[in-house]
């Protein structure tokens, strides 16, 4: 089993939902317990994306937290990010592997057992499985997989399964109990008035569910 990527609380940014500047949200979340940050920007030009990524990487490097870039391999390479996260409609994983350094982690979004098995076979380091619950933070959700979906995907692969989609404080424990290695959250932290406290609460829930203290 690959173990070079592990995360319990994986923050995915969204500046449109944030009540504070993205750099503030990221730093507060890390202080609260987020152990991986994915920078997701859908509607900005490359120059701005790189500038934001450089700013966020400065923060994640200070705390020794991995920075993952969503979709954009070029941006990930430009800022020497820890990894890149690709969706089903992005560049194929096998092609991406020919471009990125061997050390760069690649995560893949999946919503079915077959997609998860294929991702592992093609060399993914982890999968983002969802959407577990209904969510308004993504436009390309093919369906809600539910807690049972997480359970089935976890049984089918040996790489880490990070659950995503509609995960909040009130349902995070269930997600872990159904087999997720970690959870990825957007609004639960980004839209909070206090990202530090939100992250701290979520991390506590995860650790109690996994008995990792």
211 is catalytic: no
82-93: buried (b, 16+ CB within 10 Å) or exposed (e) per residue?
Answer: bbbbbeeebbeb
Nearest to residue 24, comparing CAs of 206, 212, 213, 189? 189
Which one of 7, 40, 154, 203 is the catalytic residue? 40
The interaxial angle of helices 22-32 and 195-210, nearest 10 deg, is 30
The H or E element that residue 203 is part of is helix 195-210
Q: How many Å apart are CA 89 and CA 43, to the nearest integer?
A: 17
Which one of 7, 109, 111, 131 is the catalytic residue? 109
- Pair of tokens at residue 7: 């995360």
Which one of 57, 138, 200, 203 is the catalytic residue? 138
40 is catalytic: yes
109 is catalytic: yes
CA-based max dimension of the chain: 43
- Pair of tokens at residue 28: 């507060």
3-state secondary structure at position 69: strand
Residues taking part in catalysis: 40, 109, 138
């Amino acid at each position: 089993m690959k173990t070079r990527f592990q995360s319990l609380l994986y923050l995915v940014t969204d500046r449109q939902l944030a009540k504070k500047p993205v750099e503030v949200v990221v730093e507060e979340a890390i202080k609260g317990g987020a152990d991986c940050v994915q920078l997701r920007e859908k509607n900005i030009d490359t120059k701005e994306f790189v500038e934001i990524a450089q700013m966020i990487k400065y923060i994640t490097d200070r705390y020794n937290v991995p920075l993952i870039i969503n979709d954009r391999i070029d941006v990930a390479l430009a800022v020497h990010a820890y990894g890149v996260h690709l969706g089903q409609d992005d560049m194929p994983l096998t092609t991406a592997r020919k471009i990125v350094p061997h050390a760069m982690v690649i995560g893949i979004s999946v919503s079915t057992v077959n997609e998860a098995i294929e991702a592992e076979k093609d060399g993914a380091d982890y999968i983002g499985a969802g959407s577990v619950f209904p969510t308004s933070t993504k436009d390309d959700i093919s369906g809600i997989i539910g807690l049972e979906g997480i359970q089935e995907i976890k049984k089918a692969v040996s790489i880490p399964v990070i659950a995503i989609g509609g995960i909040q404080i009130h349902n995070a424990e269930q997600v872990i109990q159904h087999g997720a290695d970690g959870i990825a959250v957007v609004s639960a932290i980004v839209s909070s008035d206090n990202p530090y406290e939100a992250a701290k609460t979520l991390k506590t829930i995860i650790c109690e569910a996994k008995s990792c203290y």
